[in-house]
Amino acid sequence: MASSDLEKKAKEAFVDDNFDLAVDLYTQAIQMDPKNAILFADRSQANIKLFNYTEAVADSNRAIELDPSMSKAYLRKGSACMKLEEYQTAKAAFEAGAALAPGDSRFAKLIEECDKCIADEMNDTQKSSTPNASQGTVLPSVGSQSSDAAAVTVEDTKQVQDTSQHALDKPKYRHEHYQKPDEVVVTIFAKGAQSKNVSVEFGEQILSVSISEDAYHFQPRLFGKIIPEKCRYVVLSTKIEIRLAKAEAIHWTSLEFTKDNLVPQKINVSSASERPTYPSSKSRAVDWDKLEAEVKKEEKTEKLDGDAGLNKLFRDIYQDADDDTRRAMRKSFVESNGTVLSTNWKEVGGKKVEGSPPDGMEMKKWEY
């Protein structure tokens, strides 16, 4: 069956509210015609109907990549992002679509709705005294108006209910992540991937990774919000390393958002100047700073006998000496094989220090 026939059947299934079948048929058509932007845009709409919002964003992103002049692709993306509460990203998509289709009044209404949601979100954040996620996104490129812009239905803006998501296609590469108090590091083990074929985009709570040469797409809705402009990535010979800057210092129990996620806990980052506390069975707390100072004082005033006392004397002299004195002590001690210790650099600096064994003893060269 040709791609056009599959597309026709998919449209019929969509009209009949059989959205699962529509997605399957669009997928088959895309496999036969992977460069057809309209197929991705239409599958995006079907995914919105199924509440698969992240898949819808991925499809619309691909449609925009293939045809930057398609206004309905921006409408699909903005509508899906609205459902994901990605209001800044949604607004940017609607603004790009409005530039392509200035006669379409829906874009103006949706932009106004985004502004209201952004304002409400900021007010709620201020009332709860929690840090607000930084707002930022990359504006999509725009071009001439597409002829099929008018084919978009009003259903684009009437979807409800957030849902969890899975990757658009079955992942070809393994990925893992770890986190720090202020960032999450995601590693995708894409060995041999070329930088020119790798596309990474950051939303308020979405990460989108595409490798065009392998038709790889990874677009999770993240556990928490991030700061897009502070996020970065690097393509290495064996992997792609992505660093996500957290908008809040909370512990992510997983990389991807799910409805079962527990309430995140704040991470208490202790100051470097704070001293650690130690467990104790005593009811009275111990002043460890005071105890440490007393031990050091005892060590300094302790009187030792014999070799121990002599070694302590030498250490004290070396510790309080200037650079020339230390150089003289090191040079004389090493060159005399430990039999001479001089503190006069002028005396020993310009000559080799000969050994001076104790009375009744003689020096011999060690033979290996």
pLDDT digits (tens, 9 = 90+) for 190-242: 888 888 889 999 988 889 998 887 788 888 889 889 999 999 998 887 889 89
Tokens in use for 148? 């099929």
Alpha-carbon span 35 to 108, nearest angstrom? 30
Tokens in use for 285? 């707390």
Tokens in use for 85? 């509460």
Grouping H, G, I as helix, E, B as strand and the rest as coil, residue 336 is coil
What's the pLDDT score for residue 193? 86
Alpha-carbon span 246 to 226, nearest angstrom? 5
User: Cα–Cα distances in Å, from 21 out to 3, 11, 24, 36, 47?
Assistant: 15, 10, 5, 19, 11
Q: Give the full edge-to-edge strand order of the sheet including 175-179.
A: 175-179, 183-188, 240-245, 232-235
User: Cα–Cα distances in Å, from 321 out to 96, 146, 300, 341?
Assistant: 72, 82, 16, 13
How far apart, in Å, do the first and last CA atoms of the chain sit?
A: 88
Amino acid at 199: S
Residue 178 · residue 243 · CB < 8 Å: no
pLDDT tens digits in sequence order for the chain, 368 residues long: 788 899 999 999 999 889 999 999 999 999 999 999 999 999 999 999 998 888 888 899 999 999 999 999 999 999 988 888 888 888 999 999 999 998 888 999 999 989 988 888 788 766 654 444 444 444 444 444 444 443 444 444 444 334 334 433 445 788 888 898 899 999 998 888 888 889 999 988 889 998 887 788 888 889 889 999 999 998 887 889 899 999 988 888 888 887 765 555 555 554 444 455 555 555 555 677 777 777 777 766 666 666 666 677 777 787 778 888 888 888 888 887 777 888 888 888 888 888 777 777 777 665 54
Q: Give the full edge-to-edge strand order of the sheet including 198-202.
A: 198-202, 207-211, 216-218
The DSSP symbol for 351 reads S
- The DSSP result for 159-207, as a single string, is ---------SS--SS-EEEEE-SSEEEEEE--TT--GGGEEEEE-SSBE
Q: In 10 A of CB 275, how many CB atoms?
A: 9
Grouping H, G, I as helix, E, B as strand and the rest as coil, residue 234 is strand
Alpha-carbon span 343 to 279, nearest angstrom? 47
Residue 63 · residue 75 · CB < 8 Å: no
pTM of the model: 0.43
pLDDT digits (tens, 9 = 90+) for 92-136: 999 999 999 988 889 999 999 899 888 887 887 666 544 444 444
